[in-house]
Amino acid sequence: MNARELYRNKLISIPDAVAMVQSHQCIGTAMAAAEPVGMLTELANHRDRLDDVTVWVCLPLRQYNFILKPEMSGHFFVENWFYGAPDRAVHPEGRTSYIPNNLHQASSGKLSASGGKLNVYWGTCTPPDAHGYMSLSLSLVIEKQMIDAADLVVLEVNEQLPRTLGDTQIHISEVDYVVENHTPPFELPSAPPAPWEQTIGGYVADLIADGSTIQLGIGGIPNAITALLMDHHDLGVHTEMFTTGLVDLFEAGVITGRKKSVWPGKMVGAFALGEQKLYDFMDNNIAVEFQQGRITNDPFVIGKNYKMVSVNTALQVDCGGQVCSQSIGPRHFSGTGGQLDTHRGAQLSPGGRGIIALRSTARNGTISTIVPMLAEGAAVTVPGQDVDTIVTEYGVAELKGRSVKARTEALIRIAHPDFRAWIREEVERLGIVPRLVVPGYTPATA
Ligand code: COA
C-alpha cells in the first residue's frame, strides 16, 4: 500500500477518534502550540460515557471545557507538567494537579511512574509528504517518548502548521489513526519592551559576549531582551522555546550560529510559541533544528556549548539566592519547565553563565521581588546552591560561590530602593544574616 492509501485508510473523524477512549484510561497530549485542538475540544462531549479519565497536558493554551467546567469532575482529571491560564484558574476546584519535573525528564519521569504505560496519545502534525512523512511541527518536548509508549496513537493533521525539521519526522505507518483539523496555531503576541525591561535588557546584553550561544526562557523579560541584542555579533541559539524575538535577531544577522560548538549553524530548540511570523520562519527552515526536550534540556548537552548564556525570569528571589519562578506562595502558577536545566547547563559551559532577570517589584510597585525569605509555601525553582547571576533594573548581582551574607549585600544593591532598608532589617531580625555590617569585614562582591 502506498503512503497516500495508507493515509486514507487511517483517516477518521474527530468524534470517532475520541470515541476510542475508555473509562479509567490515560491520554497523553502534545503541548502548547502543538496541542490537538480538535480532539481536546471534543473530549467534553464524551463526558457522560467516561469516568476517571486522566489527561496529561503541558501548557494548555485554549479554553477547553473538559478542564474548565465543574461538571467534568469525576469524569476527567488533568495532570499537568506546566500550568497555563485555564488550569491555573481551575486549580482551586481540585480537578488538576501539577507534576513536579525538570523538563528534560518530564516524559521519562511520568512514564516511569505509570510503569511505562500510556493508553492513548493525541498530538498534531503536518500533512504527509509524498513519501508519507509528517512533521510533529511545533513541539518535541515530551511528544516522541509518549508516542513510543502509547497503545494507541492518533495525530491531528493540520495544514496550517509549519513543517519543522530535525527529529520531528514521523511516518504515517507509525501512527494508528489520523484526524484532520486545520485550526491556525495559537499565537502569543510580543509587546515592545517597557522602559524597565529595556534597562534590564541592557544589563543582560552586557553579560552576553559576541559569539555566545543563548537560551531565552518563557515570559515578558526574556522576550524583551532580544531587542537589546541587536548590536551583537555571531550569536547562536540552544534553547528550549523558540520565540518571535529570535526571528528578528536572525533576520538582522545577529544570530549566525557560526561560533557554536553543538549543532554549529543551527538554532536548536524543542518547542515554538510566538507569533505567526515565528511559525512562518520555522517552515522548512534548515537553520532551525528541533530536538527532543530530553536532549535540548539535558544540562550536560547544554554545557557542551561554548559561552552558553541562559536567561530566564522569576517571581521571587530570597537572600540565600533561592529562586521561585513557579508559584505565588503556595498557589501554583506555572512550572519549573527548563529553568533549572538551562541555568545549570549554562554554568557547565566554558565561559557560560546562568542569568535570572526579574523586575525588582511586583503588583504596581507595592511588593519587593527580592525578599529576605521566600513566601510561605513558595516552590524553589533554582536552589541557592545552583544560582549564578541575578539581574534587576538596578543592576547585576553575582551570587555564585558567595556566602549568604555577601549574597544579601549584593541583592540589597539591586533591590528597589524603597525596600532596601526593610530587607536589611528583616535578614537581621530573622537571623538569616545576624549582623550585615561587621566592622573590618568587606564582602567580596562589594
Ligand atoms: N509576588 C506576587 N505576585 C507576583 C510576584 C511576586 N513576587 N511577581 C510577579 N507576580 C505576579 C504579577 O503581578 C503577575 O500577576 P497578574 O497575572 O495578575 O498580572 C503574575 O505574577 C505574572 O507575572 P509576570 O511577571 O507577568 O509573568 P511572566 O509572564 O513574565 O512569567 C514566570 C514569569 C516566572 C511566571 C515565567 O517565566 C515562568 O513560569 N518561569 C518558569 C519556567 C521557566 O522559566 N522556564 C524556562 C525555559 S522556557
Q: Is 338 in the pocket of ligand 1 (CB under 6 A)?
A: yes
Q: Is 337 in the pocket of ligand 1 (CB under 6 A)?
A: yes
Question: Residue 396 C-alpha to ligand 1 middle, in angstroms?
Answer: 20
Q: Is 362 in the pocket of ligand 1 (CB under 6 A)?
A: yes
Q: Is 169 in the pocket of ligand 1 (CB under 6 A)?
A: no
Question: Residue 71 C-alpha to ligand 1 middle, in angstroms?
Answer: 30
Question: Residue 375 C-alpha to ligand 1 middle, in angstroms?
Answer: 15
Which pTM does this prediction carry? Answer: 0.96
pLDDT per residue, tens digit, the chain (446 aa), is: 788 899 999 999 999 999 999 999 999 999 999 999 999 999 999 999 999 999 999 999 999 999 999 999 999 999 999 999 888 989 999 999 999 999 999 999 999 999 999 999 999 999 999 999 999 999 999 999 999 999 999 999 999 999 999 999 999 999 999 999 999 999 999 888 999 999 999 999 999 999 999 999 988 898 889 999 999 999 999 999 999 999 999 999 999 999 999 999 999 999 999 999 999 999 999 999 999 999 999 999 999 999 999 999 999 999 999 999 999 999 999 999 999 999 999 999 999 999 999 999 999 999 999 999 999 999 999 999 999 999 999 999 999 999 999 999 999 999 999 999 999 999 999 999 998 887 777 765 54
Instruction: Report in angstroms the alpha-carbon separations of 105 from 108, 117, 214, 323.
Output: 5, 16, 21, 20
Q: Kind of pairing, strands 150-157 and 177-180?
A: parallel
User: Active-site positions?
Assistant: 240
If you take atom 39 of ligand 1, which residue's CA is the nearest one?
334
Q: Is 367 in the pocket of ligand 1 (CB under 6 A)?
A: yes
HSE of 329, CA atoms in CB hemisphere, 13 A: 2
- As beta bridge partners, residue 269 has 290
Question: Residue 402 C-alpha to ligand 1 middle, in angstroms?
Answer: 26
If you take atom 38 of ligand 1, which residue's CA is the nearest one?
325
The DSSP secondary-structure symbol of 282 reads H
Q: Is the dihedral of CA 92, 96, 101, 103 positive or negative?
A: negative
Locate the ligand 1 atom nearest the alpha carbon of residue 220 and give its number: 30
Q: How many whole angstroms separate alpha carbon 390 and alpha carbon 358?
A: 8
Q: Is 318 in the pocket of ligand 1 (CB under 6 A)?
A: no
Q: Is 328 in the pocket of ligand 1 (CB under 6 A)?
A: yes
Could you report how far apart the first and last alpha carbons of the chain are, in Å?
72
Locate the ligand 1 atom nearest the alpha carbon of residue 369 and give its number: 7
If you take atom 21 of ligand 1, which residue's CA is the nearest one?
315
Helices (H), 179-338: 195-207, 220-225, 244-251, 276-282, 293-296, 299-302
Instruction: Return the best residue to mutate from 214, 226, 243, 313 for the ligand 1 pocket (most ligand atoms within 8 A of CB).
Output: 313
What is the SS3 assignment for 80? Answer: strand
Q: How many whole angstroms separate alpha carbon 96 and alpha carbon 74?
A: 11
Q: Is 324 in the pocket of ligand 1 (CB under 6 A)?
A: no
If you take atom 23 of ligand 1, which residue's CA is the nearest one?
315
pLDDT at position 166: 98
125, 153 Cβ separation under 8 angstroms:
no
Question: Residue 376 C-alpha to ligand 1 middle, in angstroms?
Answer: 17
